[in-house]
């Protein structure tokens, strides 16, 4: 019996796959537990429409991420931290501080988990911070650190 999987099933397949299983396995496990439905013409058409909708949504998210990346590549934020003698700083600039600066200075909502800081920012001047917006889109944001 052919079955369309509605969710991932271990050792059988992933969501959306059409798999061949025994009649008893389908009737006693997969269909009653809502892990799949019989692969008739109606269910196959529904699956095709769902896949097309998911692709459209994924494409829209990618376009939005690219647009935001172009804005971030051109933008820069300024921060100040306390400094001591010889141009040294007390502490470092955290991703939370950068997130707040982006929100107040640029008016954009960026999650601090998307900021990729290779090493702690402990010096004054201009630094590059990568922002991972999508699995395929990464932007570079300029962070200018000044002395308080």
Query: pLDDT, tens digit, for every residue of 72-89?
Result: 999 999 998 888 777 778
> What pTM value is reported for the model?
0.70
What architecture (CATH level 2) is domain 67-147? Roll (3.10)
Do the beta carbons of residue 65 and residue 132 sit within 8 Å?
Answer: no
In the CATH scheme, what is the homologous superfamily, with its name and number, of domain 2-64?
Ribosomal protein L9, N-terminal domain (3.40.5.10)
Query: pLDDT, tens digit, for every residue of 17-53?
Result: 999 999 999 999 999 999 999 999 999 999 899 999 9
Using CA atoms, how far residue 6 sits from 21, 23, 135, in Å, is 14, 17, 25
Domain boundaries, given as residue ranges, for the chain? 2-64, 67-147
């Amino acid at each position: 019996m052919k079955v369309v999987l509605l969710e991932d099933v271990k050792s059988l397949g992933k969501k959306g796959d059409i798999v061949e299983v025994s009649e008893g396995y389908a009737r006693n496990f997969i269909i009653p537990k809502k892990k799949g439905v019989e692969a008739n013409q109606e269910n196959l058409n529904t699956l095709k429409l769902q896949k097309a909708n998911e692709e459209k949504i994924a494409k829209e998210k990618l376009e939005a991420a690219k647009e935001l990346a172009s804005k971030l590549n051109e933008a820069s934020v300024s921060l100040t931290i306390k400094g001591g003698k010889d141009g040294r700083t007390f502490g470092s600039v955290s991703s939370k501080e950068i997130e707040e600066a982006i929100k107040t200075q640029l008016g954009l909502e960026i999650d601090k988990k998307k900021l990729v800081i290779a090493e702690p920012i402990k010096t004054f001047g201009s630094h590059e911070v990568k922002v991972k917006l999508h699995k395929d889109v990464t932007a570079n944001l300029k962070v200018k650190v000044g002395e308080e």
